[in-house]
């Protein structure tokens, strides 16, 4: 469960390291976001080696899709999965990926969402 003020780490190569959730999208007075939901984030810190060649700056506001959460989420009838960190992938205002790679594994339910590009760029898929 991600809500306003939650700190998240970024798992793509866009240049951002940590972000903070500003707003949970898709709903009126919606409080929590889960895996696969879109949120609005503010960039809190950048990766050291990429600061010079990055389009993003500290304090920029952009969209993000939640990839992993600490809370349990259902994959199929009796299977649940949870991760060690809350992690996102950054998206531009036109709903295109800012980075060109997604690091780590993602859940299988991204195959049936509108973010098929994230599914194709992922290193591993968890069944």
- Give me the CATH number covering residue 39: 2.40.150.20
- The DSSP H or E segment spanning 119 is helix 116-121
Residues 16-53 have pLDDT tens digits of: 999 999 999 988 889 999 988 999 999 999 987 756 66
Across 24-28, 49-53, 68-72, 87-91, least confident range: 49-53
Is 124 domain-assigned? no
Measured CA to CA in angstroms, residue 125 lies from 15, 31, 53, 64 at distances of: 23, 28, 30, 19
* pLDDT > 80? residue 78: no
Q: How far apart are CA 76 and CA 108, in angstroms?
A: 10
Is 123 domain-assigned? no
The model carries a pTM of: 0.89
Could you tell me the residue range of the domain that residue 60 belongs to? Answer: 7-71+82-103
Is 113 domain-assigned? no
* pLDDT > 70? residue 77: yes
Q: Give the pLDDT score at 111.
A: 82
């Amino acid at each position: 469960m991600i809500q306003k003020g939650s700190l998240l780490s970024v798992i793509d190569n866009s240049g951002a390291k940590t972000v903070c959730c500003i707003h949970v999208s898709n709903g009126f007075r919606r409080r929590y976001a889960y895996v696969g939901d879109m949120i609005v984030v503010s960039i809190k810190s950048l990766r050291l080696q990429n600061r010079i060649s990055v389009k993003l700056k500290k304090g920029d506001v952009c969209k993000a899709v939640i990839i992993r959460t600490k809370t349990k989420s259902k994959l199929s009838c009796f299977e649940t999965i949870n991760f060690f960190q809350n992690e996102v992938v950054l998206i531009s205002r036109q709903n295109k990926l800012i980075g060109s790679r997604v690091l780590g594994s993602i859940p299988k339910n991204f195959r049936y969402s509108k973010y098929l590009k994230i599914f194709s760029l992922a290193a591993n898929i968890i069944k």
